[in-house]
Amino acid sequence: MSNTEIETAKKAEPKAVDNRFKYLDRALAKHQFRGDALIEVLHTAQELFGFLSQDLLTYISKSLKLPPSKVYGVATFYHFFSLKPKGEHTVTVCMGTACYVKGAGELLAAAEHQCKCKAGETTADGKVSIQSARCVGSCGIAPVVVYDNEVAPVVTPEGITSRLQTWLEAAS
Amino acid sequence: MTIDELYEIGQNFRKQLEGFSAEIHVCCSGGCFSTGGLALKELFEKACAARNISADVRIISTGCIGLCGAGPLVRLFPSETLYVKVQREDVERIVDEHIVGKRVLTELAYPADAPFFAKQQQIALKNMGRIDPESIDDYIAHGGYEALAKAITYYTQDGVILEVRSSGLRGRGGAGYPTGLKWSIVRKVKSTQKYVVCNADEGDPGAFMDRAMIEGNPHAILEGMAIAGYAVGATQGYVYVRGEYPLAIERLKKAIKQAERTQMLGNRIFDSDFNFRVDLRIGAGAFVCGEETALMASIEGRRGQPRPRPPYPSQSGLWGMPTLLNNVETFANIPPIILNGGKWFAGIGTEKSKGTKVFALAGRIANTGLIEVPMGMPLREIIFDIGGGIPDGGEFKAAQTGGPSGGYIPMQHLDIPVDYESLAQVGSIMGSGGLIVVDKTSCMVDLARFFMEFCMDESCGKCIPCRVGTVQLFKILDRMTTGAATVQDLHTLEELCDMVKDTSLCGLGQTAPNPVVSTLHFFRREYDEHILKHECNAGVCEMPALDEPAPVAAAVPAVPAVSAAETVPAAEAPAGKKNGGSKKKST
Amino acid sequence: MDEIKTLTIDGEIVSAPSSATILDAAMENDLHIPTLCNLQGLDAVGACRLCLVEIQGQNKLQPACTTRVEENMVVQSKSARLQKYRRMIVEMLFAEGNHICSVCVANGHCELQNLGYEVGMDSVRFDYVYPTKKVDATHERFVLDHNRCVLCTRCVRVCDEIEGAHTWDVAGRGIGTFVVTDLAGDWGGSGSCTSCGKCVLVCPTGALFDKGKAVGEMSKNSDFLEYIVNAREKKQWIK
């Protein structure tokens, strides 16, 4: 029977700091330190560390025997990878076509207004990062907003505002 | 593993199922998952446990049942009753009335003969939403991997290809290249190593077919790939999945493990000399990676930038080796074709477009969801019968197919049959299956701007026409939606569309102007009204009134306040033009 | 051995070995097709789209730099449509960066400027993007001005294919694409750069130049490429 969802949720939990490089090394070894596993390794690194720091990129570049500029080029090409730390929470407004025709633009505007920062940025207090997604593939329940890892269906501007309010007011 | 052993697995599982008096299938895919499908499943489990009937009732979470807009969905067997919009408080009632009392709750049940299901014909989606996607035994019990067994033990490699060729199947990624032909090209190339790649980088905004298919029935894709591997002589397959689909990734991982354990993948499959392995590659957020050469660059761990073709992947693909690239839906169609024969498949659909097509209905349509219809079904039937028309008394304006590479089909073409050629004739494309309906509340200029912004953000930056051209196109469209555009802008817009289409390196750039060309052709009035009158009929674009100074006053020549029809020549018809180009998705 | 193919380019009948591209065949016969990202001696990438040609019987325009010659091919490189598109491409480059010839070190020796003359660009019909881009003058001998970069990737290729250092690569995407050294740190602090200067010599514009050069003083010469390639492949050490 299905435990996949639970496993997925578990993975999102932050790992103990000390073990992160051990996990990364394991991933590197699993791919036999092959250069063509760069994207897979970056995925793992970002999952472990939250973002890809210079040190991390240097480490990966050395381990996979790739020129640093190439690693940097790949890390900056794909939108999934972030070279800057993210906020405590992430709100992702889906801007796919189905969501867009159902008013996702207003949702994003509401979030940006409330957080006083643009999509792709993090609030000054580091609490919330706003992102826009190209399509999360849940078009049947548009417009969709992803609060951290939870997909919320048929969201209204009021809905996103009140959720963000709780995040912004929460003590860190 | 022999065929008899395969049958045995199926029989044992079916026997196991016979031990249950009822089955509750809770949809836990995409939409229903977000509206609480998984919680419902737990409630059903609790309710059954409380009534001591747990051993009698099989409760599983399934893949997409299709009617996503009415989720969460729960289907009960053996009566095949579909309950829609099931709330937590309905659970006890359903168990008491339906499971224990054997009475259907009519007020919650979706009519079985409703056109949404009655008009569909499911081949690629056949087992989806009816089996446990995490159980290979359930798949085998439903005839799974029989096609692979048949292909390997009964057919020669050429025999498999002949069957696929005679089916008339065309690539479901969008461009519609004949699948059998592609396979025979890869088969003919001599090489020590060949690859089979499944393109599951479903990037079109508004499309979720691939996601649902992988989440709902991952083994079907693996089986299709293994058959392809056998036919073309490949020993290694890759599935390139979007990173945005974590559940699909998990399900595929699990399915690959199960298939390896059951020896459906690995060495000496069905005691033959055929070896085949499948690995996953996870995308990292780049739409352009749906383009085949970019996808291969990404699998090789590089920036997902396309390269000029030729050489085509079938000659020189992954690591320079011959590579067969097909889309998820294409692979999902392979097992039924092998089991039932190419002729059977060719009997469905139209003369040039055989079989069925999966569509993701979204936007301003009553029944949002996932459907599969025979090729050639009139668009009107899809939208109004299956889709249930426009909700809230809205009025149909256009249907969008093909995402950022496609076009709009307006009211006057509602009766066209949905097949590759007919859609191309009206300036759209089949695309991978996203079908988005817009009504009068959507502004076509704004939508053109929306797609151009998408292409601009997703341009890889390698070639100049796409990198800079999409920015320039976006700037003009943005001016149009803010009341700062001039008539000259309209001229430049058209010039740019031609140029970007003809000179861009890959399908992304070559098709990026399509939504603009299409809206310009069918809704030119709206462009004129935006530019000349600062009017947006849909009320989407906010523009200063004409007598106010425009934001960039210097650039705007005085425009006489005459009707649009008088100042701007009637729309030149680009309908005959082929907007398809080479569609970016692999087929 | 390569087979010899006969084809027509702009009305001239030419012959070329089957491994040659249309551009090779044209150059061999002194027929000019405009190029920017291409540089003989480096891998062709087909990115700038200036060398697009029409091939009889094909709907699509093909880049001369990556398309192989075929028997009886009829190639047209100067049709009105192609000339119009070429001009638009050059205009786009001018609109994309900050190309002000009068204050540029490469003024008078710039391939982009020459292309502007060649395609008859007297004005730019597109919106200037006026991006804010950096200048990196941290290297001891050279300067990188992103404002003048046209992203031809010649520097990336020469550094990887010829020098073997792979200091350069391309980062970002779309309109935000830029060239980087190592992990996008200062060029001067690059651990992999050998300061060989090949990237500067192959750069078509004033994006890469010698420190201390004033307006119009930076002329470049990429003949060394041919020498190196001949030396490597044909063991021809003396010209």
Contact A67 C166 (CB under 8 A): yes
- Tell me which of B298, B315, B468 to substitute to probe the interface with C (most C C-beta atoms closer than 10 Å): B468
Whole-number Å distance between alpha carbons of B584 and B577: 18
**Per-residue confidence (pLDDT) for residue A172, from 0 to 100:** 58
Look up the CATH number of the domain holding residue B266: 3.40.50.11540
Same domain, B203 and B257: yes
Nearest to C46 among B308, B467, B470 (CB): B308
**Per-residue confidence (pLDDT) for residue B79, from 0 to 100:** 92
Q: What is the CA radius of gyration of chain B?
A: 25
Q: A164: domain range?
A: 89-169
Mean pLDDT of B398-415: 95
Residue B244 pLDDT level (bands cut at 50, 70, 90): confident
Q: In this model, does residue C10 exceed pLDDT 50?
A: yes
The string of pLDDT tens digits covering residues C92-129 is: 999 999 999 999 999 999 999 999 999 999 999 999 99
Same domain, B338 and B370: no
**Per-residue confidence (pLDDT) for residue A12, from 0 to 100:** 46
Query: Is there a cis peptide before residue B72, judged by omega within 30 degrees of 0?
Result: yes
**Per-residue confidence (pLDDT) for residue B565, from 0 to 100:** 38
Residues of chain B numbered 447-466 and touching chain C (CB < 8 Å): 456-465
Nearest to A80 among B68, B284, B299 (CB): B284
**Per-residue confidence (pLDDT) for residue A149, from 0 to 100:** 81
Task: Find, among C105, C108, C110, the residue nearest to C209 by Cα.
Answer: C105
Whole-number Å distance between alpha carbons of B478 and B257: 49
Residues of A in contact with B441 (CB under 8 A): 101
Instruction: Calculate the CA C100 to chain-centre distance.
Output: 19
Same domain, B149 and B272: yes
Within-domain flag for C89 = no
Contact A138 B205 (CB under 8 A): no
Within-domain flag for B118 = no
Same domain, C73 and C113: no
Contact B360 A1 (CB under 8 A): no
Same domain, C148 and C217: yes
Q: In this model, does residue B547 exceed pLDDT 80?
A: no
Look up the CATH number of the domain holding residue B101: 3.40.30.10
3-class SS string, B7-22: HHHHHHHHHHHHCCCE
Q: What distances in angstroms separate CA A123 from CA A51, A52, A88, A112, one per listed residue?
A: 17, 19, 10, 10
Same domain, A13 and A64: yes
Within-domain flag for C209 = yes
Among A18-27, B152-161, B422-431, the least confident range: A18-27
Residues of C in contact with A54 (CB under 8 A): 183, 185
Same domain, B86 and B223: no
Contact C47 B496 (CB under 8 A): no
Same domain, A94 and A162: yes
Whether the CB-CB separation of B423 and B416 falls below 8 Å is answered with: yes
The average confidence (pLDDT) of chain A is 86
Nearest to B461 among C52, C62, C177 (CB): C177
Residues of B in contact with C170 (CB under 8 A): 303, 461
Nearest to A38 among B34, B301, B436 (CB): B301
- Tell me which of B64, B85, B253, B302 to substitute to probe the interface with A (most A C-beta atoms closer than 10 Å): B302
Chain C contact for A165 (CB, 8 A cutoff): no
Same domain, C49 and C102: no
Residues of C in contact with A57 (CB under 8 A): 183
Residues of A in contact with B460 (CB under 8 A): 77
Question: Domain total for chain C?
Answer: 2
Nearest to C166 among A54, A58, A69 (CB): A69
- Token readout for B581 is 């180009």
Same domain, C56 and C110: no
Whether the CB-CB separation of A121 and A130 falls below 8 Å is answered with: yes
Q: Helix, strand, coil shares of chain C as percentages rounded to 5?
A: 30, 15, 55
Same domain, A51 and A10: yes
Residues of A in contact with B254 (CB under 8 A): 4
Q: In this model, does residue B507 exceed pLDDT 50?
A: yes
Within-domain flag for C48 = yes
Same domain, A157 and A121: yes
Contact A100 B450 (CB under 8 A): yes
- Token readout for C70 is 């075929």
Reduced to 3 states, what is the DSSP secondary structure of residue B374? strand
**Per-residue confidence (pLDDT) for residue A150, from 0 to 100:** 85
Reduced to 3 states, what is the DSSP secondary structure of residue B346? helix
Q: C48: domain range?
A: 4-78
Q: In this model, does residue B584 exceed pLDDT 50?
A: no
CA angle C74, C76, C82 (to 5 degrees): 150
Whole-number Å distance between alpha carbons of B401 and B435: 5
Same domain, C103 and C220: yes
- Tell me which of C183, C190, C192, C193 to substitute to probe the interface with A (most A C-beta atoms closer than 10 Å): C183
Q: In this model, does residue C168 exceed pLDDT 50?
A: yes
Same domain, B91 and B179: no
Same domain, A158 and A98: yes
Domain boundary among C46, C78, C110: C78
Same domain, A37 and A57: yes
Same domain, B84 and B199: no
Residue A97 pLDDT level (bands cut at 50, 70, 90): confident
Domain boundary among A77, A104, A135: A77
Chains that touch B (3 or more CB pairs under 8 A): A, C
Backbone angles phi, psi at B453, to 5 degrees: -60, -40
Among B89-93, B411-415, B580-584, the least confident range: B580-584
Look up the CATH number of the domain holding residue C53: 3.10.20.740
- Token readout for C104 is 């540029």
Whole-number Å distance between alpha carbons of C157 and C41: 10
Contact C169 A70 (CB under 8 A): yes
Nearest CA in chain C to A72: C183
Domain boundary among A77, A100, A135: A77
Report the percentage of chain A scoring pLDDT > 90.
53
Within-domain flag for C92 = no
Same domain, C135 and C211: yes
**Per-residue confidence (pLDDT) for residue B551, from 0 to 100:** 55
Whether the CB-CB separation of B123 and B220 falls below 8 Å is answered with: no
Within-domain flag for C228 = yes
Contact A101 B281 (CB under 8 A): no
Whole-number Å distance between alpha carbons of C159 and C169: 9
Same domain, B455 and B427: no
**Per-residue confidence (pLDDT) for residue A18, from 0 to 100:** 57
User: Side chain identity at B488, as an amino acid letter?
Assistant: Q
Nearest to B436 among A39, A78, A97 (CB): A97
Same domain, A93 and A46: no
Within-domain flag for C211 = yes
Residues of A in contact with B299 (CB under 8 A): 36
Q: In this model, does residue B146 exceed pLDDT 70?
A: yes
Within-domain flag for C239 = no
Nearest CA in chain B to C152: B462
Same domain, B334 and B412: no
Contact A68 C173 (CB under 8 A): no
Question: Domain total for chain A?
Answer: 2
Look up the CATH number of the domain holding residue B403: 3.10.20.600
Backbone angles phi, psi at B246, to 5 degrees: -60, -40
Within-domain flag for A83 = no
Chains that touch A (3 or more CB pairs under 8 A): B, C
Contact C175 B307 (CB under 8 A): no
Chain B contact for C204 (CB, 8 A cutoff): no
Question: Domain total for chain B?
Answer: 4
**How many A×C Cβ pairs under 8 Å?**
45
Whole-number Å distance between alpha carbons of C167 and C155: 9
Whole-number Å distance between alpha carbons of C142 and C183: 18
The string of pLDDT tens digits covering residues B18-51 is: 999 999 999 988 788 888 899 999 999 999 999 9
Q: B44: domain range?
A: 17-112
Whole-number Å distance between alpha carbons of A11 and C223: 55
Which residues does C contribute to its contact with A (CB < 8 Å)? 160, 166-173, 180-185, 192
Within-domain flag for A82 = no
Within-domain flag for B587 = no
Whole-number Å distance between alpha carbons of C182 and B382: 53
The average confidence (pLDDT) of chain B is 91
Nearest CA in chain A to C165: A67
Domain boundary among A25, A50, A77: A77
Backbone angles phi, psi at B58, to 5 degrees: -95, 120
Residues of B in contact with A79 (CB under 8 A): 284-286
Same domain, B401 and B511: no
Residue B560 pLDDT level (bands cut at 50, 70, 90): very low
**Per-residue confidence (pLDDT) for residue C62, from 0 to 100:** 97
Report the percentage of chain B scoring pLDDT > 70.
93
Residues of chain A numbered 59-98 and touching chain C (CB < 8 Å): 61, 67-73, 76-77
Q: How far B409 CA lies from chain C's nearest CA (Å)?
A: 25
Within-domain flag for C132 = yes
Nearest to B461 among C60, C125, C173 (CB): C173
Backbone angles phi, psi at B480, to 5 degrees: -65, -35
Four-residue CA torsion sign, C156, C160, C164, C168: positive
pTM of the model: 0.89
The string of pLDDT tens digits covering residues B268-324 is: 999 999 999 999 999 999 999 999 999 999 999 999 999 999 999 999 999 999 999
Domain boundary among C18, C50, C78: C78
Count of C-beta atoms within a 10 Å radius of residue C1: 5
Whole-number Å distance between alpha carbons of B377 and C130: 50
Same domain, C69 and C129: no
Same domain, C103 and C200: yes
Same domain, C107 and C219: yes
Same domain, C54 and C111: no
Same domain, B86 and B149: no
How does A125-152 read in b/e, with b if 16+ C-beta sit within 10 Å?
A: eebbbbbbbbbbbbbbbbbbbbbeeebb
Same domain, A127 and A150: yes
Same domain, A59 and A111: no
Q: In this model, does residue A1 exceed pLDDT 70?
A: no
Alpha helices in B311-463 (DSSP H): 328-340, 342-346, 379-380, 420-425, 444-458
Largest CA distance in chain B: 82
Same domain, B171 and B227: yes
The string of pLDDT tens digits covering residues B437-496 is: 999 999 999 999 999 999 999 999 999 999 999 999 999 999 999 999 999 999 999 999
Reduced to 3 states, what is the DSSP secondary structure of residue B370? strand
**How many A×B Cβ pairs under 8 Å?**
166
Same domain, B296 and B327: yes
Tokens 């000496």 belong to which residue?
B268
- Residue B533 DSSP one-character state: I
Backbone angles phi, psi at C237, to 5 degrees: -90, -20
Residue B563 pLDDT level (bands cut at 50, 70, 90): very low
Q: What distances in angstroms separate CA B322 from CA A110, B316, B325, one per listed residue?
A: 50, 5, 10
